[in-house]
Amino acid sequence: MKHILMLSTGGTIASEPTDHGLSPELSGNDLLALIPELEGLCRISCKEILNIDSSNMQPEHWIRMAHAVSEAQDAYDGIVITHGTDTMAYSASALSFMLQNLQKPIILTGSQLSITEEGTDGKRNILDAFRTAVSGIPGVFIVFCGRILCGTRAKKMYTKDFDAFHSINAEDIGRIREDGTVEVKDFPRQIKDFQPDIRLNPNICTLTLLPGMDPKLFDTVLDLGYDGIILEAFGCGGIPNQERSLLPCLKKAQEKGVIVVIVSQCPYEAVDLTIYDVNVQAARLGAVSGLDMTLETVTAKLMWVLAHTIEPETVKTMMHTCYAGEFTI
């Protein structure tokens, strides 16, 4: 019988009503006690590493999770992480870059309703997460509402619907059927040795472009001393270059050595900085395409890359190197 470790971090799944709204109160063992269907599926150990709403999740918490996973690799056949849904995609992406070439399953899951609420999706999601962990599929995945999603492709698309997470610009890795059968599609698997690289540079920020945005906002952000800025641009990467042009800001960023990565406000398909005047000029001033990566993935990847180097050309090369299935080649 396989031995699976559950790491609990809080989130809605572990929440109980308080006089100031739902708040994480239940331990990992409390969650497991409510799912008798787990009996006989595998041996389970449980460790609580956090008990927070995932809106409070920080890069330092990702590092703590990554260390916990790395330290458990030899002792367990897989790991399930219970997590709040709001930042789960960020956490899955961060773990994917810090824990490459995994030979075992790392499964994140949570719920839209507390596990103690009537009609909760929490029990099903935890059970499905353990079923997926027992299947032995190696890598970092989110399991939610019967879907198995690559950790660097998942995005929360609904605030309340049970089918909250979808795979962006890639197919689901697999599904868990109603009878508990785990079906996994063929996907590229790592054959290199597991090598944790647990470091992040959180000194980045994101700016969402709006029509008429004052370039002074960009200049103010530049003056705050960030190592990287993610710009959520229009369409396939459009940056205003006439009235209220942002090109002088990009030039200033280039001169300061600040990395600017362009992602699209469109959830599907890729940034392409080779098509229009409004993005070709941005590329010439050093802007880096985020390709078809999600904002969550670009955020985690840029933090990981900047922990290795702040040299612009090396950063660009690393951002355009596929480490964990994060973009379409």
Length reported for the chain: 329
Torsion of CA 182, 106, 301, 227, to 10 degrees: 150
Residue type, 146: G
Rounded CA-CA distance 200/94 in Å is 9
The HSE-up count of residue 220 (CA atoms within 13 Å, CB side) is 7
Rounded CA-CA distance 279/199 in Å is 32
Structure tokens at 166: 């979808």
- Check 12, 87, 294, 297 and give the catalytic one: 12
Q: Is 18 a catalytic residue?
A: no
Q: What share of the chain is helix, strand, coil (3-state, %, to 5)?
A: 30, 25, 45
244-274 burial, b for 16+ CB within 10 Å, e for fewer? Answer: eebbebbebbbeeebbbbbbbeeeeebbbbe
Rounded CA-CA distance 283/300 in Å is 22
Which of the residues are catalytic?
Answer: 12
